[in-house]
Amino acid sequence: MTTTPSPSGSTGASAAPFSTAELGALTAALEAEQAALYAYGLVGARGGPPSRAPALAALRAHTLQRDLLASRLAAAGRRPPAGEPAYALPFEVSSAATARALAAHVETALAAHYADLVAAAAPGRRREAAGWLAGAAAAARRWGAAVTPFPGLPERAPSS
């Protein structure tokens, strides 16, 4: 028998309720996805022709992820926060290289949020959150971020 995940992230009646920590981590991940949507608009616009198709694909993927996270919060009885009209950038994005660096920065930040969600999630929902963490880490690497031994956990990186 195949089960279809519900908006709450469960596959049936054995769904564990969301803890306060998990709801907080879901909310933070949603807010990071909203910021990613803003950033990928800039990446597509300033990243040059080679970055446009990957930026558009990322924009579509992050839109779906934002909607999924919002539906999870709504299913848990929480009102998902609205996105901001604009976000502060971590640095000036004025070239193709800085646009790619912004995409890497955004994905690295998302990996950190998903690592927090893995830590806070009920056991039945950890695998999904870990998949999102792995996806963000892989995307960060594709955009040029350094390989890290523990994606999303910079405090675990070896000291130099």
Indicate the pLDDT class of residue 66, thresholds 50, 70 and 90.
very high
Extents of the domains making up the chain: 20-79+91-148
Instruction: Tell me the per-residue pLDDT of 109-145, one tens digit each, with 9 for 90 and over.
Output: 999 999 999 999 999 999 999 999 999 999 999 999 9
Q: Is the pLDDT assigned to residue 5 strictly greater than 90?
A: no
- Closest C-alpha to 113, from 12, 11, 2, 31: 31
Q: What is the CATH number of domain 20-79+91-148?
A: 1.20.1260.10
For the chain, the farthest-separated pair of C-alpha atoms sits apart, in whole angstroms, at 53
Q: How far apart, in whole angstroms, are the C-alpha atoms of residue 159 and residue 18?
A: 35
* The pLDDT value given to residue 148: 84
Nearest residue to 25 via CA among 37, 9, 5, 41: 9
